[in-house]
Chains A and B, each alone.
Chain A
């Protein structure tokens, strides 16, 4: 099948370029490293409840790192996937063969998704091996779910980056687009949403509860925030507590938000919806990129 041929070729090329190897090593060090460090210091993970607590704390802390690192790596892996072939002329060789442009885009998405997902899986496997002996079943299940969630984050950003690459005419354009999206999500989104929601409360007479609901909804549109709050759902007792982590600073929730949001989480802000929003950041850019790429003169 054409799609498969493109995806396989793309992935093999990444293997040959040692990307997969380097990323795997990086994720092993990153994920298993902290746990191993405890062992080398002779502290160990402790037993039972203590080990479970450590595994959960591990998720909570690690997500702060992965939420930055994984999107950046995914963008590096994906941003030039189409434009580089277009600029160098290998795309002409590729499209001289019976591949549709849609197959090229989707094939790239699959190939590059594997390039990021596989190393993440390897990293988590290594970390899991370190954590398994001591932890409870609950902690391990959470840890496994966190691994999949992190893979999803990587794949979402690969889709975003490949979609932008398909729509762009040059490497430069693709780079600006992808990095711009990342900066938007990472730096501006949070501040912008609280400003807007705050403004609505102040000038449009929104109740405090509605203001925070609007703000929560807006925050969840950001795939990085969606990832973080889904990771928190694995750690905290309720999804509401997980969502409240989006307000305030690091581990200290904003009391105003806590009070306004109460205990009842609207169904649209529950995990499945948040996950679906995250997936939209994969589907929409890939689709739009594909449509624009189909129309382009190469």
Chain B
């Protein structure tokens, strides 16, 4: 049984297509990162999974039930951190969690989940006075109530500081270790890389990649970026380099040649440059990062075309909304 299954799902708002013919399967027990830039259709997809909006075409199934017809039964078994929510201003943090417990028809103590998200000390304050990050923690606490089989977290790290985002990742890990399936969206790869078994990348309403982190790494290549400092290199000098096996791309700005290649091809690249009469003064290599791939997918260029890109950018840190 798969935890979430979308087949041929399309959602149009008027003449805007938010999600186009999407097929997506999240297996039971995995942590699935749903990636994409803002406006790619991630929240629309999640809203269809939660039955907040209805697909124009296609079918959505959650825990082997119809997302629309059996939405209440589904929500009894899942925990949700929605996007764009707000808390009840007059209720305290604890009352929120108590309401979640009551709604799920359980009889448990609210304190352990409040403690897990770090809100226990503020549990008796009215949630109207909470910061964005605290509201986010509170909604997570509500989602965690009753050890749900599936957690759906829409941009869980938004509003959290780096420490908070780290705690969020730890909780995701713990939940996965408990056996829960976790499906969460993010527009920042850095939050996802460390915890996800698999990721799907959505762009303009379409899934452009769906793979494990390892698989994605392979797509990026065992690849490296080679930066070669030279006395002077022209486009013609690069022809021989481009012809080499294992080289995906090469570029030059005159004094630096940047080559995207497999790690085994380094020596051949240097050799080819020297054969072309270019004097090599120095070279460095950088391992290609997933971030590059993510940017390549989401910013328009197809993977593999990023041979001349800057490859030394660290994975982006946590971005607060």
Contact = CB atoms under 8 A, between A and B. Distances in A.
Interface string B111-122: 000000000000
Contacts of B71: 100
A140 B117 CA distance: 58
B52 interface: yes
Given A2-B103, A5-B99, A5-B102, A13 B85 contact: no
Interface string B57-99: 0000000000000011101100011111111101100001001
Interface in A97-144: 97-100
A92 B75 contact: no
A106 to B, nearest CB: 14
A190 B80 CA distance: 51
Contacts of B54: 297
Interface residues of A, number: 20
A89 interface: yes
Given A93-B87, A98-B76, A98-B103, 17 more contacts: A2-B103, A5-B103, A13-B90, A13-B91, A90-B86, A92-B84, A92-B85, A93-B86, A95-B52, A96-B81, A96-B82, A96-B143, A97-B100, A98-B72, A98-B73, A98-B104, A297-B53
B259 to A, nearest CB: 49
Nearest to A1: B105
A298 B139 CA distance: 19
B293 interface: no
Interface in B106-158: 139, 142-143
Given A9-B99, A298-B52, A98 B84 contact: no
Nearest to A13: B90
A88 interface: yes
Contacts of A99: 72, 75, 103
Contacts of B139: 93, 96
A172 B86 CA distance: 20
B85 A90 contact: yes
Q: List 3 A-B pairs, minimum CB-CB distance, nearest first.
A: A96-B80, A97-B103, A297-B53
A90 to B, nearest CB: 5
Contacts of A97: 75, 80, 99-100, 103-104, 142
Interface residues of B, number: 32
Contacts of B103: 2, 5, 97-99
Nearest to A297: B53
A96 B88 contact: no
Contact of B87 (A13, A90, A98): A90
Given A95-B50, A96-B50, A17 B87 contact: no
A88 B73 CA distance: 26
B82 A93 contact: yes
Contacts of B91: 9, 13, 16
Nearest to B91: A13
Contacts of B212: none
B286 interface: no
Contacts, number: 72
A89 B86 contact: yes
B53 A92 contact: no
Nearest to A93: B85
Nearest to A14: B90
14 contacts: A2-B72, A9-B91, A17-B90, A89-B84, A90-B85, A92-B82, A92-B83, A92-B84, A93-B87, A96-B81, A97-B100, A97-B103, A99-B75, A297-B53
B47 interface: yes
Contact of A13 (B72, B80, B84, B88): B88
Contacts of B86: 88-90, 93
B52 A93 contact: no
A130 to B, nearest CB: 34
Contacts of B73: 98
Contact of A298 (B47, B72, B83, B87): B47
A100 to B, nearest CB: 5
A298 B102 CA distance: 24
A266 to B, nearest CB: 46
B143 to A, nearest CB: 7
B50 A16 contact: no
A86 to B, nearest CB: 11
B178 to A, nearest CB: 20
Contacts of B82: 92-93, 96
A2 B105 CA distance: 8
A26 to B, nearest CB: 21
A100 B76 CA distance: 11
A92 B54 CA distance: 15
Contacts of A95: 50, 52, 75
A90 B143 contact: no
Q: Which of A9, A93, A298 has the most CB of B within 10 A?
A: A93
A92 to B, nearest CB: 4
Contacts of A298: 47, 52-53
Interface string A261-274: 00000000000000
Contacts of B87: 90, 93
A84 to B, nearest CB: 11
A92 B52 contact: yes
Interface in A1-19: 1-2, 5, 9, 13, 16-17
A89 B127 CA distance: 14
Interface in A283-298: 297-298
Nearest to B53: A297
A97 B52 CA distance: 12
Contacts of A88: 86
B80 to A, nearest CB: 4
Contact of B72 (A5, A89, A100): A100
Contacts of B13: 297
